Chain A
């Protein structure tokens, strides 16, 4: 296990020693040879990153342009032919009530899930951070759900969330709470999926745990001497010191929330004959249905671009906001 050590020390080291920069310290005596060597180094560099460049050109940039082209066409599955569609697929985005509905569902999920994930993960991390010697064991236990395949999680929670006999409502019953009809009542469908997501929140937790470990202890001790209580210490030290990790998690979790597919597909949209509440229709599920069940590639591509713009806009807003609130170590 000690094999991991180099990496651990490597990460903070990045600010200390930059191999590329290190070379600059020793100026070469022969400028002529230096420039040819530079060229050779640049060529080699490009060769090394060429797999990524090719992949980027084909699977990212090329695919994005291709997707844009497709969004202005109609694809006919029977003949395999495409016909120009103008802006009709984009116009359809505004006419199809399911677009607004699935976007609304997805947004609701994101608004519910992201803050809860951050809060729960941070809470777990803080508990673990104080556990001392036992933390390794508990960290392993908390991480297990993250290892469970989503398909398995979904099939287990399908039964755990039964409104009458499910274990979750039985548990709530001990406290005299009459649990909801989780997966049947449309109002509780999205909270149900949030619950499944929270069960696997340990990935986010580990990021917080690492961030908490990096907060200098002396800060807390100084604050204690000043008579600060735990709540004040949390808000004046912990939160600012880990604001970078909070910001990172919020962005990553938001992007993920907009792409939620597996749980909703498995529990509600697997069979076309299923009677599923409309509140379970996530944007990614509807997009998938349009693309690979109806094979309406044009409309699906227009949907994908709408999603791209929304995610872009939200991420930009978050970055703008973070510039105001996030404290970076480097700024010290």
Chain B
């Protein structure tokens, strides 16, 4: 008993002492960020969670190029809290895949390494490899911080069956002419006992706020990274969204309705005619291809207020944490996965999958790189025999070059969250658009101030 107690006492004294010391301990300072072309040793990669046929082909390609490197993959999805927890406990992977919108935040905090030298030592030019908006998404403070991959442009998929029944033509689903659009939505909207059973047009406000704000000439983040949510030009996008929802039962009812969509299943919203039109990212076309016989779709681009096709970028990116132990291999691996060779291998793999699947259609790959996109489209994307699907696939290809970046900021995530808040309170009618944006701006500025306070000067 006494021995046990002595052990306890010793342990607890150690705990107190260690605890008090912990606050004063200092870690290693970050990022001299020089890279060497020689990749060797072991590489720990986290969050490469999209290991489908395309992913596997790219992994195999990268592996064959990094013969001396022992690669171990943790394929669980990126999680912001998990990432910072790992950084805090000093247990960081060498390379992490994350949504591109996180990149600037972690760059500002000094948690990831700038990759300018990673690109230069491997003779890869970011400006000639990626779409300008894709590159802009991972550029902050004059440096490029990530290797971006995939570029999911949103556009509008039309449900021709619902539209024809209501006498609505594709020309009327034109976001640059909100009044006509709202009239068309009203024609398609069907309610049952006060609850929507067909939405005329699902604008996916909460998923695509950037599209709606920037598309109507607004600005979310300025060039220095500060939030600009109270920009008077942002009001228009919110107003149009409110009109759209109010024309079909209101935002709350529509949101609860769309939450029940069997989006990936055999009773999805296009099969069951729950929507007349919907803003969707490009991958959704792939989801719909197995149901080609049950759906009648087409597509139109999102038109900006100036009447031109418009889209915003969203995609993922590879970053190298500041504390990574094998930065050289991480750099080489990320660039290899994103190289033309990897995309060619991926496209070939996808083509053979499609060949093996009866009725499958190649909708193309949207890689984030214009050259790779063009190669895939020219080589593999052939007529599907369904004019609606062909039109849809073409629409995405046509719009992909017209992307705009939302901008990068140390508080990028919080700014987006505040925008969501403004959006919600506007759509639910609890605040006017300008009042909501004003409140959101003040909250976003606080987040920005806190982010800058915690930021580490890099380099």
A residues in contact (CB < 8 Å) with B? 47, 50-51, 54-55, 57-58, 62-63, 66, 69-70, 73-74, 76-82, 92, 95-98, 162-166, 178, 181, 184-187, 272-273, 275-278, 292-296, 299
Contact = CB atoms under 8 A, between A and B. Distances in A.
A78 B260 contact: no
B383 interface: no
A292 B82 CA distance: 9
Given A47-B5, A78-B110, 10 more contacts: A63-B19, A78-B27, A78-B30, A79-B30, A97-B439, A273-B99, A293-B81, A294-B450, A295-B84, A296-B450
B456 A97 contact: no
B81 A187 contact: no
B28 A184 contact: no
Given A184-B255, A186-B428, A79 B260 contact: no
A315 to B, nearest CB: 27
B20 to A, nearest CB: 7
Contacts, number: 141
A58 B19 contact: yes
Interface of B: 5, 8-9, 12, 15-16, 19-20, 23-30, 80-81, 84-85, 87-88, 90, 99, 109-111, 194-196, 206-207, 251-253, 255-257, 259-260, 322, 413, 417, 420-421, 423-425, 428, 430, 439, 442-443, 446, 449-450, 453-454, 456
Nearest to B80: A272
B23 A70 contact: yes
A77 B111 contact: yes
A295 B442 CA distance: 22
Contacts of A296: 450, 454
Given A54-B12, A164-B257, A77 B26 contact: no
Contacts of B15: 58
B456 A79 contact: yes
A246 to B, nearest CB: 36
Nearest to B195: A164
23 contacts: A50-B5, A50-B8, A50-B9, A51-B8, A76-B456, A77-B454, A78-B30, A78-B109, A80-B27, A80-B88, A81-B26, A82-B23, A95-B449, A162-B256, A164-B256, A181-B256, A185-B252, A275-B417, A275-B423, A292-B85, A295-B84, A295-B87, A295-B88
Contact of B110 (A79, A92, A277): A79
* Chain B contact surface mostly: helix
Contacts of B253: 163-164, 181
Contact of B425 (A74, A181, A186, A295): A186
A66 B442 contact: no
Contacts of A50: 5, 8-9
B412 to A, nearest CB: 11
Given A184-B256, A296-B454, A77 B88 contact: yes
A292 B27 CA distance: 18
A276 B111 contact: no
Nearest to A281: B421
Nearest to B12: A54
A95 B253 CA distance: 35
Contacts of B260: 162, 164-165
Nearest to B440: A278
Nearest to A98: B443
B450 to A, nearest CB: 7
Top 5 A-B residue pairs of the complex, sorted by shortest distance between their CB atoms: A80-B27, A78-B110, A163-B256, A181-B252, A275-B206
